[in-house]
Structure 1
Amino acid sequence: MPGSGLPRLVLGGGASVLVDSDLAEYAECTVPVILRHQVRALWQVRALSPGTWRHPVFPDGYSDVVVTGALRVLAVGPSHRAHHQPIPAESAVVGARLRPGALSILTGMTADDLCGRVVRIGTLEPAGPATGDVMAALVAFLGQLTVPHTPSQVRALRACELVSTAVRAPSIRSVADALGISERSVRSVFAEHVGLPPSTFHQIRRLQRALVLGGARRLSLAEIAHRSGYSDQAHLCRQMRTLTGLTPGSVLSNVAPDPRALDPVR
C-alpha cells in the first residue's frame, strides 16, 4: 500500500531504517545505563495505515530481540539479506538491537547458529497494553544482559570495530595481529558473537555507511561509492542490490534525510 508521504531514512543505533511517513513511524528510546554495554538501541515501529504494513528491514550486522503482538519475545539472528516484517494495522512492534555477544547470553546459542533464524525465548507480561508498558516489560526481560563483558566478548567488540571502520575490507591476519590472537581465533570470535564472517560483516557495515551518506546529504552515487569504500559506482549498485534487493536509486531517491549520524560500532 503506497503512501503519499516522503520516505525518511532514519539513522541511529547502528542501523538505517526506511519508513514512509504516512504508513509508519520509527523511534528509538533511551537505553538504561545498566544495559548500554549490551544493548545498542531500544526501538519501536508503529504502523499508521489501515492495513498491514510490510516494514523493510535492511541488514545491519547485528541481532535483535523483538516482541510480537502476542507478546512473544523472539531472538532474531543476524542476516545478510533484507526482508519485510509485516506489522498489523495501527499496531506497534518493539525491540532491542544488541551488541555483539549479547544474543548468546540470552539464548545460550552461538550467533552463527542463529544466523537467519528467529527463536522464541520468552513471553512478556506487561503492566498494561500501551506500547510504553510493553517496552518497560522488555527492558525488565533484558535485565539478563546486565552481566559484564567476558574477555571473548571484549575481543568481539574490538574485532567488529576494526572491521566496521575499515574503508577497505581488512585481512583476517591484520585483525588477528591487532587483537594479538590467531586467525582461527578471529573466525571463532565472529562465529560465536557476531554470526557472520568478517568479510560479510564488513560488506554490511559498508552498506550502512553508504546509506548514511546517501540519506544525510545530496551526493552523487559515484561520490557515495568512493566515500563508502566501494571500488566504483557499479560496485555499490551490485552490493546494494545483493544486500537489500533494491538499487541505490530506489532506496535513496526522494528520501527525506535524518540529520543524525550512526554511532560507533561498539
Structure 2
Amino acid sequence: MLEVAIKVENLKKAFGEKVVHNGVSFEVYDREIFVIMGPSGTGKSVLLKQISGLITPDDGKVIVYGKDVFSLSEEEKLKFREELTYVFQGGALFDSLKVWENVAFFLIENKGIPEDEAKEKAKYYLSLVGLEGTEEHYPSELSGGMRKRVAIARALCVNPRCIMFDEPTSGLDPVMTAILDRLILKLKNDLHKTCVVVSHDIQSAFRIADRMAILWNGKIVEIGTPEKIKLSENPVVKQFINGLPEGPITVGYER
C-alpha cells in the first residue's frame, strides 16, 4: 500500500470576493511526481503555498507526513521546513550572495553549521544538479535555467522528503525545459523524493508525472495518471490538454 505524503482536505481560500479554492481535496503519495495543472489564474501557485504553509487557508486541512501543517508550533515549523521545501518560480535567490552561499543559507543561518562544512555540502548538491564550478559565481552571472537549478540545490541542501516546484520550466527554452524535466525525474528515481509540481507546460507535465490533477473553477475536476487524463471525457480537461492552456475555458462547469 502506498504511503500518503500529503493529504489536502476540503481546502478553501478567497481573497476578498474572489474565491480561489472552493473545496480542494486530493492525496499525494510518497516518492511520486504529482503535477497540478490548470489554466492561468486558477490558483495553482496559491494552492502550492498553502500546502507549504506559506499561505493560510480559510478552511480545510493540509496533512504532510501525518502532521497538520497549520497546527505546528514554531519549533515544529522549523523542522517542517526541512521535510518539505519550496522552489519558487523565479528561484528567489539572494543577488548579493554567491551561488554556494545561496545554497547553504539555511544551513548556516538556521542550523549553525560552520561555513566550511556548509560550503562542502553546497558543492555536493550543486554537482547533483549539474552545476559544478559555479560556487563562486553570483546569480546575475547565470542563465535563467542555471538559477532555477541553484534553487533546487538549495532545496536539496536540507535533505527534504518532499519538494514543491512552482512552474519550474516557466520562461525556459525547450532544451533547458528537458534538462529540468530530467532533473526532477532524477530526484524521484535516484534520491527518492516526493515532488509536487505546479505547471502550465502540458508537454513537460506528461513527461514527468506519475499522476496529475486538473484545477479549475476552485476545484479539482480530474485526477489520475497521464494516460487517464489523456482519455478523460471531462470537457474542461479535454479543452485544456488539447492546446489551449492559456485561453479561457469556454465550456460550462459548476463550482
Q: TM-score, normalised by structure 1?
A: 0.28
Q: Which has the higher contact order (CA 8 A, sep 6+)?
A: 2
